[in-house]
């Protein structure tokens, strides 16, 4: 046995302990140690039952990510699990923390499962473009109702211990000490016949699932990703075969998927997220204390940022302009919390507790106790400068000041304060309490302490931080602006909004660029274009279509008309918009031609890549992988395609022809 797996026997009960910090990943050494443990148990006639447990904070949380995508080294996990399942005496999995992927498959190989009340169990393989490859689909579908097996395997989302007990995934929830409870359960088992291995149990009734409609719904949700559909197929196939045949088929499918482009792209996305904002990790400076944070502006973003902070346990002072806007901001926070509770994302108690930590005010002095203040007022440079001047007057010198601006010059804002070094950008995404991305904008003079504070905030809010330098739109909005502009040129050249949107959706974006603009409103970009009119470089091409729509009051969904007509609720192509586009084509003497969907996507990706290359050359983005993280987690770029920078190179662009 290795030092990663230990074995002790007392009173006929063997305790096998996996100890591979931090998360007891199923590395090669652990698999080898488990096989040795099985042999030791089989040879020890005194052993009548085995408890399999893990040291530290969790049961096996999954595969060893360092081995992801590498050729498997024997003993492979299916061998380990089959050895346990075929053992002479019952094995009891004692689960705490998380049992994910291979960890849950290992527990399914045991004959009985007992879990701590706080345990989470799941099979997240689809998020890495694969399916369980060590019997997960086969054993799960022979243990729990088939619809639950389908849900677990195709969604990849973990469930809690209560639900696991309800569906039969675990046999018991431990009251008190887990090991003691597992030992007690093991002794009870000694008086019963040995439970049959799951692989030998009868198949459930496949008729309880409507396979076709499940596949249709899944395909819609998967947006072009294949793994969830493969996972569904694996479950369906598993119950149509004997357990042993199903195991073989599942493994074949797993190996095929592990080698797929989709899995490679998803592994890349996974590692890119883990490595995002790399420079932040090297910062030695102490971050500001985040137990109390100020937020200025309680509109869409300010309220969302406040909710994210409150739910992380931070006390928030939310500042608005006057009594009426203070009340409105408090109401917005309350409604956001209530909506989260109604969705089941948080409990009502968590919502109440969060609200207790909120102070809404219009008095700047009450912000002075906050080591960090985040400004989220109107996107207007004069309003923001005024806010920074007021903050400067009341905040102690060590406080860190942040702006959530989308496009404005963070350096220029910083220069309006007495100490620009303590100013940085913290660019959240809407809705701020849901979206995982945070662009940390490093100003020319921003000190490490301010950056360390941004980094600590991201950790506290469980967000992915990417560092951006200062430029118009930072990483994400700059790329968005570039490809949005190019899409408008495509309209002049012969495409229509609905065609571009449909090509983007077929590629895997949740929405097309024109529908997105309608959703967020066309007026902000219009105001920016008007503000920049005097300084616009007239030698550069300019597309007037969007301006024409705005001049007609077509500001998007909120005006019931934008690029589409929403008067029936659903977006409809509007002949009036087509006419505006056609008029502009004539006015600009554009040469009109047809576009294929593949061509539209290739062009969009190429513009993203060109802008990405420029961001790298200018030192705005730290790495191509960071740019991909921004596009995937902030702008709907399909994760299973890795990101625009990942797709550079001919092979990837051919893949873009897919739709």
Interacting residues toward ligand NAI by CB under 6 A: 296-302, 319-321, 325, 376-379, 383, 387, 404-406, 428-430
* Least distance between ligand NAI and beta carbon 181 (Å): 48
Which of 190/519 has CB closer to ligand NAI? 519
Closer to ligand NAI at the Cβ: 267 or 427?
A: 427
**Contact predicate 362/319, CB 8 Å:** yes
Work out the end-to-end distance of the chain between its first and last CA atoms, rounded to an integer number of angstroms.
52
Cα distance between residue 631 and residue 619, in whole Å: 18
> Alpha-carbon distance 270 to 126, whole Å?
12
* Closest to 395 (Cα-Cα) out of 425, 409, 375: 375
Reading the block at residue 530, the tokens are 């008007």
Decide whether 91 or 637 has the Cβ nearer to ligand NAI.
637
Query: Which of the residues 82, 125, 262, 611 is marked catalytic?
Result: 125
Sheet (strand 292-296) strand order: 358-361, 315-319, 292-296, 372-375, 400-403, 423-427, 437-441, 464-468
Beta bridge partners of 15: 8, 51
105 in catalytic set: yes
For residue 116, report the phi and psi dihedrals to the nearest 5 degrees. -65, 155
Distances (CA, A) of 528 to 116, 388, 439, 472: 55, 21, 21, 11
Measured from the CB atom, the residue of 217 and 327 that comes closer to ligand NAI is 327
Query: Considering the complex, what minimum distance in angstroms separates the CB of residue 437 from ligand NAI?
Result: 10
Residue 79 annotated among the catalytic residues of the structure: no
- CA dist., res. 533 & res. 538, Å (int): 9
Nearer to ligand NAI among residue 239 and residue 377 (C-beta): 377
- Residue among 350 and 528 whose Cβ is closer to ligand NAI: 528
Question: Which residue of the set 82, 105, 230, 611 is catalytic?
Answer: 105
Q: What minimum distance in Å lies between the beta carbon of 427 and ligand NAI?
A: 6
User: Which is nearer to ligand NAI, 476 or 571 (by Cβ)?
Assistant: 476
What is the C-alpha separation between 381 and 403, in angstroms, rounded? 11
DSSP strand pairing (159-160 vs 120-122):
antiparallel
- Name 568's Cβ contacts closer than 8 Å, sequence gap at least 6: none
Give SS3 for 301.
helix
466 close to 629: Cβ distance less than 8 angstroms: yes
Minimum distance between the CB of residue 296 and ligand NAI, rounded to whole angstroms?
A: 5
CB of 428: closest distance to ligand NAI in angstroms? 6
Nearest-approach distance from CB 180 to ligand NAI, in angstroms: 51
Question: What minimum distance in Å lies between the beta carbon of 479 and ligand NAI?
Answer: 15
Query: Can you name the residues that pair with 400 across neighbouring β-strands?
Result: 372
Phi/psi for 275 (5° steps) reads -95, 0
Positions marked catalytic? 105, 125
């Amino acid at each position: 046995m290795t030092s990663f797996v230990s074995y002790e026997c007392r009173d006929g009960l063997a305790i096998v302990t996996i100890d591979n910090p931090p998360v007891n990943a199923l590395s090669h050494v652990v698999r080898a140690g488990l096989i040795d443990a099985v042999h030791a148990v089989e040879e020890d006639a005194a052993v009548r039952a085995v408890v399999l447990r893990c040291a530290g904070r969790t049961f096996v949380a999954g595969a060893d990510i360092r081995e992801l995508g590498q050729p498997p080294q024997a003993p492979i996990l299916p061998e380990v699990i089959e050895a346990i399942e075929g053992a002479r005496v019952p094995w009891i999995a004692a689960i705490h923390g998380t049992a994910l992927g291979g960890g849950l498959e290992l527990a399914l190989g045991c004959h009985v499962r007992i879990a701590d009340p706080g345990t989470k169990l799941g099979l997240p393989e689809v998020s890495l473009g694969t399916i369980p490859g060590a019997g997960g689909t086969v054993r799960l579908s022979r243990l729990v109702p088939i619809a639950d097996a389908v849900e677990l395997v195709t969604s990849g989302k973990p469930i809690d211990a209560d639900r696991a007990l309800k569906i039969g995934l675990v046999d018991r929830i431990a009251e008190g000490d887990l090991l003691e409870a597992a030992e007690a359960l093991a002794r009870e088992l000694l008086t019963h016949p040995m439970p049959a291995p799951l692989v030998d149990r009868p198949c459930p009734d496949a008729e309880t699932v409507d396979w076709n409609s499940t596949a249709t719904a899944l395909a819609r949700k998967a947006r072009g990703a294949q793994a969830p559909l493969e996972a569904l197929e694996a479950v369906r196939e598993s119950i149509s075969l004997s357990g042993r045949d199903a195991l073989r088929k599942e493994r074949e499918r797993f190996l095929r998927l592990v080698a797929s482009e989709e899995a490679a792209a998803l592994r890349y996305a996974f590692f890119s997220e883990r490595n995002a904002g790399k420079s932040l990790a090297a910062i030695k400076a102490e971050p500001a204390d985040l137990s109390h944070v100020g937020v200025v502006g309680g509109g869409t973003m300010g309220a969302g940022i406040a909710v994210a902070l409150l739910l992380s346990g931070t006390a928030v002072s939310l500042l608005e302009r006057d009594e009426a806007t203070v009340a409105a901001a408090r109401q917005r926070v309350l409604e956001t919390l209530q909506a989260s509770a109604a969705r089941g994302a948080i409990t009502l108690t968590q919502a109440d507790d969060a609200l207790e930590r909120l102070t809404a005010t219009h008095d700047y002095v009450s912000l002075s106790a906050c080591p960090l203040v985040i400004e989220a007022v109107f996107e207007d440079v004069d309003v923001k400068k005024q806010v920074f001047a007021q903050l400067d007057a009341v905040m102690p010198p060590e406080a860190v000041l942040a702006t959530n601006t989308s496009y404005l010059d963070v350096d220029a804002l910083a220069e309006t304060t007495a100490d620009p070094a303590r100013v940085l950008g913290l660019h959240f995404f809407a809705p701020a309490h849901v979206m995982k991305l945070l662009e940390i904008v490093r100003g020319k003079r921003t000190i490490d302490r301010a950056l360390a504070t941004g980094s600590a905030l991201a950790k506290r809010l469980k967000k992915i931080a990417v560092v951006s330098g200062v430029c118009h739109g930072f990483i994400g909005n700059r790329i968005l602006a570039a490809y949005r502009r190019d899409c408008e040129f495509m309209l002049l050249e012969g495409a229509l909004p609905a065609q571009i949107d449909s090509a983007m959706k077929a590629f895997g974006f949740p929405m097309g660029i024109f529908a997105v603009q309608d959703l967020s409103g066309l007026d902000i970009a219009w105001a920016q274009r008007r503000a920049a009119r005097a300084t616009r470089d007239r030698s550069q091409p300019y597309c007037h279509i969007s301006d024409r729509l705005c001049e007609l009051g077509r500001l998007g969904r909120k005006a019931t008309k934008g690029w589409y007509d929403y008067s029936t609720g659903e977006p409809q192509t509007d002949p009036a918009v087509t006419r505006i586009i056609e008029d502009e084509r004539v006015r600009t003497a554009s040469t009109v031609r047809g576009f294929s969907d593949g061509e539209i996507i290739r062009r969009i990706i190429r513009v993203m890549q060109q802008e990405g290359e420029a961001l790298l050359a200018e030192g705005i983005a730290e790495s191509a992988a960071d740019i991909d993280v921004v596009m995937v987690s902030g702008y709907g770029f399909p994760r299973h395609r890795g990101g625009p920078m990942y797709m550079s190179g001919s092979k990837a662009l051919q893949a873009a022809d897919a739709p």
